[in-house]
């Protein structure tokens, strides 16, 4: 008479039958964790590098990597043994935490660590996956990985012009040794154990955000909004005054949009400090970051077309300089529930005025800016309670936001208004100069 197989024998038999799927799932899981950690740590580059075009690229790559991670997770969950949690194993997290470096180090050296060590290793891992999987049986994964390989190759090409500016040889060797200890991201290469003398820098000196952000060669100041046309490029009353010429408003709003660079700088600080956040939170943060980057590019690219020399436009640093002193959940609350949520009335007036110019490009850029900002406020309502919970904040969100706003203005008295004008009034863009540029 037949007898039932033991549970242990049944599980062993099932694992054997599914071994081909299980191995590919293991690799997909590792790739997901690597992409996720890039999303968590690479934003630390944004406020440390000075070139706006490089900031924009990093924001774009973080967003694309978030997309890679999301698709890997979705594909992995179609297969057995991927797991329902989203945690990252310690050896992977340790290498990315090491790559962040210290805030006093050359940002281009840190960039080289990400783009000349970690990203090439990820590209090699994707290529290995294609080599070892069955192109028909695992067709859905194969097509995803082929697209991700193309992205990774493009990322290398896009960042290449910014690399090689400093001596990063020792730093790259340091990170390569850490990767070699794992045998590459997938463990498929010969493992070279670390020397006993190897020191993990991030454990010896924990990373802290710099007190101010880097704007490279561009002039800086505390803020660009004000009341004096002889001093400030964005004259607040002019934005909503019906007597202001629409051409003036268009120029001022492009300055406003370009200054959303401060948003990408301070939003970038939130990722690293929320390692326990659900992946979907970081995914939406990455989208938020890329949106703000595009908005800044609207101004960065349009102002020269209207006759503005970008080297006369001072970059405002106050928001970063103040917010970096607040914990991450308070930074996020101010961004979504205060700055963005309260910008709609003024921007609506601006949009209506700019439409008088029959400038289709300007209308399009402002419409997409508004649409994105509406989504960002939705993100705030969705994720603020969860970020608050990560920091054991138990007050109702409304009460928390109100208290955070009051704290922000107290901190503004301490840390705001400390950046002097880089340019004299005669050289920097002001409201009076905008009048002339607009032909008013």
Element (H, E) at 221: strand 220-221
Sequence spans of domains, the chain: 18-204, 220-437
Rounded Cα distance, 160 and 399, in Å? 47
Query: Above 90 in pLDDT, residue 146?
Result: yes
Helix ranges (DSSP H) in 87-223 = 90-99, 107-113, 119-132, 139-159, 169-182, 201-204
Mean pLDDT to the nearest integer, 181-198: 96
According to the 3-state scheme, what is the secondary structure of 372-434? HHHHHHHHHHHHHHHHHHHCCCCCCHHHHHHHHHHHHHHHHHHHCCCCCCCCCCCCCCCHHHH
Q: Residue 366: which of 392, 390, 346, 386 has the closest Cα?
A: 346
Q: Which residue has the higher pLDDT, 218 or 5?
A: 218
Looking at the chain, how many residues does it have? 440
The predicted structure's pLDDT at residue 167: 85
Q: What is the band of 440 on the pLDDT scale with cuts at 50, 70, 90?
A: confident
Mean pLDDT to the nearest integer, 19-24: 90
Helix ranges (DSSP H) in 222-276 = 236-240, 246-258, 261-267, 269-272
Query: Above 60 in pLDDT, residue 322?
Result: yes
Query: Above 70 in pLDDT, residue 64?
Result: yes
The predicted structure's pLDDT at residue 57: 98
* pTM assigned to the model: 0.94
Query: Above 90 in pLDDT, residue 19?
Result: no
The predicted structure's pLDDT at residue 262: 95
User: Tell me: the pLDDT tens digits for 256-272?
Assistant: 999 999 999 999 999 99
Instruction: Name the CATH superfamily for 18-204.
Output: Ferritin, core subunit, four-helix bundle (1.20.1260.10)
Q: 428 with 312: CB under 8 angstroms?
A: yes
Mean pLDDT to the nearest integer, 201-218: 96
Rounded Cα distance, 41 and 53, in Å? 19
Mean pLDDT comparison of 18-22, 160-164, 326-330, highest-scoring range: 326-330
Mean pLDDT to the nearest integer, 130-145: 95
Share of the chain above pLDDT 70, in %: 96
Mean pLDDT to the nearest integer, 130-139: 94
Per the prediction, the chain carries an average pLDDT of 95
Rounded Cα distance, 93 and 432, in Å? 51
Rounded Cα distance, 286 and 62, in Å? 6
Query: Above 70 in pLDDT, residue 2?
Result: no
Query: Above 80 in pLDDT, residue 361?
Result: yes
DSSP assignment string, 51-72: -HHHHHHHHHHHHHHHHHHHHH
Mean pLDDT to the nearest integer, 309-321: 98
Mean pLDDT to the nearest integer, 46-60: 97
Lookup: tokens for 375: 């989504």
Rounded Cα distance, 38 and 42, in Å? 5
The predicted structure's pLDDT at residue 80: 83
């Amino acid at each position: 008479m037949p007898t039932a197989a033991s549970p242990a024998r049944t599980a062993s038999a099932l694992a054997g039958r599914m071994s081909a799927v299980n191995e590919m799932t293991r690799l997909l899981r590792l790739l997901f964790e690597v992409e996720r950690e890039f999303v968590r740590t690479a934003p630390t580059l944004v406020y440390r590098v000075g070139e706006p075009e490089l900031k924009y690229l990093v924001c774009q790559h973080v967003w694309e990597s978030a997309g890679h991670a999301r698709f890997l997770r979705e594909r992995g969950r179609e297969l057995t043994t991927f797991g329902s949690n989203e945690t990252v194993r310690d050896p992977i997290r340790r290498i990315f935490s090491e790559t962040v470096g210290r805030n006093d180090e050359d940002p281009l050296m840190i960039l080289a660590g990400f783009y000349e060590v970690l990203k090439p290793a990820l590209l090699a891992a994707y290529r290995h996956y294609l080599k070892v999987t069955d192109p028909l049986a695992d067709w859905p994964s194969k097509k995803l990985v082929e697209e991700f390989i193309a992205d990774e190759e493009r990322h290398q090409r896009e960042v290449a012009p910014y690399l090689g500016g400093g001596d990063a040889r020792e730093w790259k060797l340091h990170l390569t040794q850490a990767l070699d200890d794992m045998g590459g991201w997938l463990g498929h290469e010969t493992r070279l154990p670390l020397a006993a003398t190897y020191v993990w820098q991030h454990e010896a000196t924990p990373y802290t955000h710099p007190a101010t952000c880097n704007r490279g060669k561009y002039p800086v100041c505390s803020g660009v909004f004000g009341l004096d046309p002889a001093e400030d490029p964005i004259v607040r009353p002019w934005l909503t005054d019906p007597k202001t010429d629409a051409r003036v408003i268009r120029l001022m709003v492009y300055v406003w949009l370009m200054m959303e660079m401060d948003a990408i700088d301070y939003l970038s600080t939130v990722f690293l400090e929320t390692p326990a956040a659900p992946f979907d939170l970081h995914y939406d943060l990455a989208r938020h970051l890329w949106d703000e980057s595009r908005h800044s590019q609207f101004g960065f690219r349009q102002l020269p077309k209207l006759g503005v020399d970008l080297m006369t436009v001072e970059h405002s640093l106050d928001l970063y300089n103040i917010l970096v002193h607040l914990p991450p959940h308070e930074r996020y609350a101010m961004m979504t529930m205060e700055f963005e949520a309260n910008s709609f009335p003024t921007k609506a007036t601006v949009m209506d005025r700019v439409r008088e110019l029959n400038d289709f490009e300007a209308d399009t850029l402002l419409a997409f800016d508004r649409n994105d900002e509406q989504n960002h406020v939705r993100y705030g309502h969705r994720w603020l309670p969860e970020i608050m919970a990560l920091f054991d904040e138990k007050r109702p969100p409304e009460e928390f936001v109100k208290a955070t706003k009051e704290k922000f203005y107290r901190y503004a008295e301490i840390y705001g208004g400390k950046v002097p004008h880089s340019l004299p009034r005669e050289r920097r863009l002001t409201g009076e100069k905008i009048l002339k540029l607009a032909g008013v």
